[in-house]
Chains A and B, each alone.
Chain A
């Protein structure tokens, strides 16, 4: 099977900054593929190269088997894009936004209008059909952008932070829509720094930092491999640290808590309780967040 996206040694420099530093990946048809990473990791830059709006500095990138430098117009014709920044047309209503956008794709008027109605109903905005953009809530705007990205029935959907800044209700509704698209066999590439989002939606993902891909795999594989099924959390005291060092366990300090990554969480917890006077000890399921933080560190990125 031919991949929908294939990148080999893809690079993007902005002056001295290596925003994307020689990454390789491929996205197969029907897959939901995630890019995770802290701010400035190079996720958005990668998306912009896939969208053919930012030329690569070096390396190879094909979308639908077409080189991005060869026929950007054809790739863009078959692409649906949800940008990180809301860029709906403020001079139009919801319905008009979709119809005008369809015109950019050269979709005939009657077909565009029909498609716009269908999509408004899909993203549950039919009753906002004739409302100007400024009257929409943040969640509604994001859903309208999703509808707009679907107007040309794309063969690949690229979403850059699809649920950024949304409240939990709006986020869940967005996930529901993306799940439906996934179930219908769409190929989707998304970036996010909501790890729960990646865990729920992605079949496969990469974690990026400083322009490089650190790891790649399914969410379950990555949690298993890098965090363990379960994680022990314990209060940060000198006694506990001494104990853990004695046990030779892998741990990380997180403020007044310590997280211990081990394949024998219950044994570790037991020993801590009996020998180290630990205060509180919890055992919880490992998550993508543990993988993410252990790989990219806990230092705040500015």
Chain B
């Protein structure tokens, strides 16, 4: 019953990679411009009034959150809207499964590509953050490999929604009801400790972005959070579950 993708998934990944670099000028703009805008407006602008959080200058506090949000958005939106377009409108998956590729290979390739997008965006953004001097080196370099794992987590969750959505419009539900609240309530722009107790527990138990923020912040501040290992293990386990679950759900949708 457990899906068994093979290394052929690489060929699907490579197809998406080729398309991405065909249009790289458009694709590379957001990871460079977005953090600059956020750093200026929220980090320095709002930061003037906030001062410090837990003894850390506000701009340093939100820099890792910007990275984590970028990992989430780039992989989540790739494996929801973009994958859906490839599957439903472009009939890309149909074309691929007529070759020696299996549906497991195709979905695994899409997931790995979603993770790669997170990796590309986080790396580009890290360059900007280093230039602004708001992240510690060399520990922040570990964000680069971590962004792939975090990307794979969100890609798997996203692909589950893609597998069960009736149409492209209904993908707006997870985008607004899941991603947007998570963007605000995962210890991104203010610490979880200001939330009511039950909400804190909820965030730490089930919100993927809260775990990713914890790990990323530990790396960019070069100071280990007590939750670091918990969050890392959480991400590893949940990523594995959603990786296989999303492939299974896609098989159920597409193999008829």
Name A residues whose Cβ lies closer than 8 Å to a Cβ of B: 14, 51, 53-55, 72-74, 76-77, 79, 81, 83, 85-92, 96, 100-101, 103-106, 152
Say yes or no: is B25 at the interface (Cβ < 8 Å to chain A). Answer: no
- Chain A residues closer than 8 Å to B96, beta-carbon distance: 104
In the bound complex, CA of A92 to CA of B98 (Å): 18
The smallest C-beta distance from A64 to any residue of chain B, in angstroms, reads 14
The 6 A-B residue pairs whose C-beta atoms are closest, nearest first, are A87-B91, A104-B99, A81-B98, A87-B95, A91-B19, A77-B100
Contact B90 A87 (CB under 8 A): yes
Interface size class of B (residues with CB under 8 A): 20 to 34
Name B residues whose Cβ lies closer than 8 Å to a Cβ of A: 8, 11, 14-15, 18-19, 22, 90-92, 94-102, 255-256
- Chain B residues closer than 8 Å to A105, beta-carbon distance: 99-100
Q: Chain A binding site: helix, strand, loop or mixed by DSSP?
A: loop
Q: What 6 additional pairs, Cβ within 8 angstroms, besides A14-B256, A87-B92?
A: A51-B98, A53-B94, A53-B97, A76-B100, A90-B90, A104-B96
Beyond A54-B256, A103-B11, whether A91 also contacts B22 by CB under 8 A is yes
The smallest C-beta distance from B147 to any residue of chain A, in angstroms, reads 25
Beyond A54-B255, A92-B19, whether A79 also contacts B90 by CB under 8 A is no
In the bound complex, CA of A205 to CA of B15 (Å): 38
Contact A53 B99 (CB under 8 A): no
Q: Quick one: which of A14, A54, A100, A106 contacts B100, CB cutoff 8 A?
A: A106
- Chain A residues closer than 8 Å to B102, beta-carbon distance: 72-73
Contact B22 A76 (CB under 8 A): no
Contact B100 A89 (CB under 8 A): no
In the bound complex, CA of A88 to CA of B86 (Å): 11
- Chain B residues closer than 8 Å to A86, beta-carbon distance: 91
Contact B92 A89 (CB under 8 A): yes
Contact B98 A76 (CB under 8 A): yes
- Chain A residues closer than 8 Å to B14, beta-carbon distance: 103
- Chain B residues closer than 8 Å to A51, beta-carbon distance: 98
- Chain A residues closer than 8 Å to B94, beta-carbon distance: 53, 83, 85, 87
- Chain A residues closer than 8 Å to B22, beta-carbon distance: 91
- Chain B residues closer than 8 Å to A106, beta-carbon distance: 8, 11, 100
Most interface-central of B8, B22, B94 (chain A CB within 10 A): B94
- Chain A residues closer than 8 Å to B95, beta-carbon distance: 83, 87-89, 101
Contact B19 A53 (CB under 8 A): no
In the bound complex, CA of A73 to CA of B5 (Å): 12
Q: Quick one: which of B18, B92, B98 contacts A53, CB cutoff 8 A?
A: B98
- Chain A residues closer than 8 Å to B100, beta-carbon distance: 73-74, 76-77, 104-106
Beyond A53-B255, A100-B15, A104-B11, whether A89 also contacts B90 by CB under 8 A is yes
In the bound complex, CA of A96 to CA of B40 (Å): 42
Beyond A54-B255, A83-B94, A87-B92, whether A76 also contacts B99 by CB under 8 A is yes
The smallest C-beta distance from A200 to any residue of chain B, in angstroms, reads 26
- Chain B residues closer than 8 Å to A79, beta-carbon distance: 98
In the bound complex, CA of A85 to CA of B94 (Å): 10
In the bound complex, CA of A52 to CA of B14 (Å): 24
Contact B255 A83 (CB under 8 A): no
Contact A89 B15 (CB under 8 A): yes
In the bound complex, CA of A55 to CA of B255 (Å): 8
The smallest C-beta distance from A164 to any residue of chain B, in angstroms, reads 15
- Chain B residues closer than 8 Å to A92, beta-carbon distance: 18-19
| 19 A-B residue pairs with CB within 8 Å | A53-B98, A53-B255, A54-B255, A54-B256, A76-B97, A81-B98, A83-B94, A87-B90, A87-B91, A87-B92, A88-B95, A89-B92, A91-B19, A96-B18, A100-B15, A100-B18, A103-B14, A103-B15, A106-B11
- Chain B residues closer than 8 Å to A152, beta-carbon distance: 99
In the bound complex, CA of A112 to CA of B56 (Å): 56
In the bound complex, CA of A96 to CA of B95 (Å): 15
The smallest C-beta distance from B16 to any residue of chain A, in angstroms, reads 9
In the bound complex, CA of A55 to CA of B256 (Å): 7
| Closest Cβ neighbor of A55 among chain B residues | B255
In the bound complex, CA of A138 to CA of B11 (Å): 28
